[in-house]
A and B are shown apart, each in its own frame.
Chain A
């Protein structure tokens, strides 16, 4: 604070700025931080804030459930790179955010969540709609704070935005008791944020970068393994230049899809449990694995002990804690993927590696993703191929979680970043419908398609009402097999087909959609699929298409839990159908 009597003070406090309420400070700070769209659900302790939002220049989207709202803010952030903002009330409102925050935390999505809280003097007294929000959300947020003094409010909010969308992004929660929203304070001038416990490392260590480049130039059998971090860093272009300059085959994690154009010959598509055989073979046989913005998760590595057994590992990541957490890394480079890739581009040389690319080409030819194209039933893979064809790979695809998500990763070909929005780390069923809403709000002109499963859809389909209310032309393709398909697949494979509690009685989804005010289409014959997709793409209202797919179709190939990446099941099934 400056002293008003001091001469030469430039902060303007000589003429005292009029005092503002906490609620006004919140709205002003949101606008100052560039927020033009936010999501939220009203509640008792939020009334002072919502009164100030009444005529604020912010596009406000009301979900049907706070979880949906949080997924919307999440997808909004994933589709744009901007910070998603969600505001919910105390107690149950805050508790309903949990799944959404954990989803965003696992996938490093920048969100600022504002929660109302009971009056400061009531905290700890089991007041009506009281919950220990900061206590509950501490492990699933990048940072959280409860505001105890209105004079701190503005700085805390600014820091929340700063923390959420710098470094490895993540959700930040600010808990604001209602008396703080009513209390008055002097607005604070914006100044540079400096936090002693939060230092950013963007530029890679020069010696480490040189060591990485040397290893790459020397390698005869390299693989570039790309995760969601490249998309977050906005480094797809640099990645592509780097891969092409050094001549590297590229495989992506589920979160990394879209960072490298899958139509390019060097693309090995996705790796991991349901990744391509050629990607998994390449990783297991490479002599150098270059991980960028990926974190060696168990769904990617399979059995750790035998993962990439002959490879030296380079790991480029902004989060030091991700390095050498699961696998030993030979050349760690901590920093921003975009910056480090730029430096690597300068330092790497082209290398033909004919033998290695020939080997990869053989694997590719022998084990493509495949399914029974001659079947009479509707195969889910067929639906996705048709979607890919009809949209030329340009749609923003969002998904729920399960088999349909894996098929969406395998059979739709992504050619640019931020076009595949899916819950990878947490694996949140029900992510699809609200994420479609969030993505469509973020990108009003884009074609947004939710490829969903029936069980995932059941969890959050109420958010279709939100799409109807805001006239969002989202498309929802339900790959309906009447099962929780992925667990049914595991029960088939590992529990002797004992389908314990994995089937649901579904409503008629098309009728439900119509009741919500959306368009509903049911497809039960294979030859109706292309026409149904065509019709769906023409609709201007939200549109739900219920594809009654082959009930017991499985996702292949598959690396069973605990197996090595090259011990894939289902390869012979794929081969026989290719």
Chain B
């Protein structure tokens, strides 16, 4: 089971090493970890996708909280969130296949950001599933390179709990 945790951390050297080292030392599984600055230069935001059951997640939260440079933790499990990945992908698009690839780009609301003789570089953002689907759709044409950011997430306004039927 995947869980998204967001941690506000002091923007200091060594904090990323501390967090990732703690995950390794306690045998927690990281699916992705994204770090970036916030509007306050004193703090960074880490978005961590963790694999594990509820018991693991509880320990992850508590162990993160023990790190002194970790200021605040939000656990998005069971919450309505907007979660997005960003991907750059180079797809083989020879002149005869190019229209098909461009049609895919259109369909996925992606964007061509560079073009070579045989390849197109495409920028796409969205949920993990959407990105997976795009990779699968492009695979038959030939992939040269795929690079992804991992997930960033933010809680939705107003509604905090996901209802069962959603």
**Interface of A toward B, CB cutoff 8 Å:** 134-135, 138-139, 142-143, 146, 163, 195-198, 319-321, 324-325
- Cα–Cα, bound, A229→B160 (Å): 38
Asked if B68 contacts A135 (CB within 8 A), the reply is no
- The distance in angstroms between the C-alpha atoms of A138 and B14, with both chains bound, is 9
**Could you tell me which residues of chain B, from 44 to 100, have a CB within 8 Å of some CB in chain A?**
55, 58-59, 62-63, 65-72
The distance in angstroms between the C-alpha atoms of A324 and B67, with both chains bound, is 19
Contact of B66 among A135, A138, A319, A324 (CB under 8 A): A319
Q: Does B111 contact A (CB under 8 A)?
A: no
* Shortest Cβ distance from B42 into A: residue: A196
Contacts A321-B63, A324-B55: A138 and B68 contacting too (C-beta < 8 A)?
no
- Asked if B142 lies at the interface with its beta carbon under 8 angstroms from chain A, I say no
> Whole-angstrom distance between the alpha carbons of A117 and B138 in the complex?
52
When A138-B17, A321-B62 are in contact, do A196 and B22 touch as well, CB less than 8 Å? no
**Which of chain A's residues have a CB closer than 8 A to the CB of B148?**
none
Closest to B43 in A: A196
Overall SS of chain B's interface: helix
8 A Cβ contacts from B1-34 to A: 9-10, 13-14, 17-18, 21-22, 25
Which A residues lie within 8 Å of B9 (CB)? 197
Could you list 15 examples of A-B contacts with CB < 8 Å? A134-B14, A135-B14, A138-B18, A139-B21, A139-B25, A143-B68, A146-B14, A195-B68, A196-B10, A197-B70, A197-B71, A197-B72, A320-B62, A321-B62, A324-B55
The reply to whether B21 and A138 form a contact with Cβ atoms under 8 Å apart is: yes
A21 to chain B, nearest CB (A): 24
Interface size class of B (residues with CB under 8 A): 20 to 34
With beta carbons under 8 angstroms apart, the residue of B18, B21, B25, B71 that contacts A196 is: B71
- Whether A197 lies near B22 (C-beta < 8 A) is no
Could you tell me if A198 and B62 are in contact, using CB atoms closer than 8 angstroms? no
Contact between A325 and B65 (Cβ–Cβ < 8 Å)? no
Contact A197 B67 (CB under 8 A): yes
Knowing A143-B68, A163-B68 are in contact, say whether A197-B55 is a contact too (CB < 8 A): no
Q: List, in ascending order, chain B residues with CB within 8 A of A139's CB.
A: 21-22, 25
- Do A324 and B58 have beta carbons less than 8 Å apart? yes
Contacts of A146 in B (CB 8 A): 13-14
CB-CB under 8 A from B58, the residues of chain A are 324
Q: When chains A and B are docked, how far (Å) is the Cα of A531 from the Cα of B69? A: 57
B66 and A321 form a contact (CB under 8 A):
yes
Q: In the complex, given contacts A138-B14, A197-B10, A320-B62, what are 19 additional A-B residue pairs having Cβ atoms less than 8 angstroms apart?
A: A138-B17, A138-B21, A139-B21, A139-B22, A143-B68, A146-B13, A146-B14, A196-B10, A196-B72, A197-B67, A197-B72, A198-B68, A319-B66, A320-B65, A321-B62, A321-B65, A321-B66, A324-B55, A325-B59
A197 touches B69 (CB 8 A): yes
CB distance from B8 to the nearest CB of A (A): 9
Chain A's closest residue to B14 (CB) is A134
List residues of chain A with CB within 8 A of the CB of B10.
Answer: 196-197
Quick one: closest B residue to A325, CB to CB?
B59
Q: Nearest-CB distance from A159 to chain B (Å)?
A: 9
Q: How far is the CA of A135 from the CA of B17 in the complex (A)?
A: 8
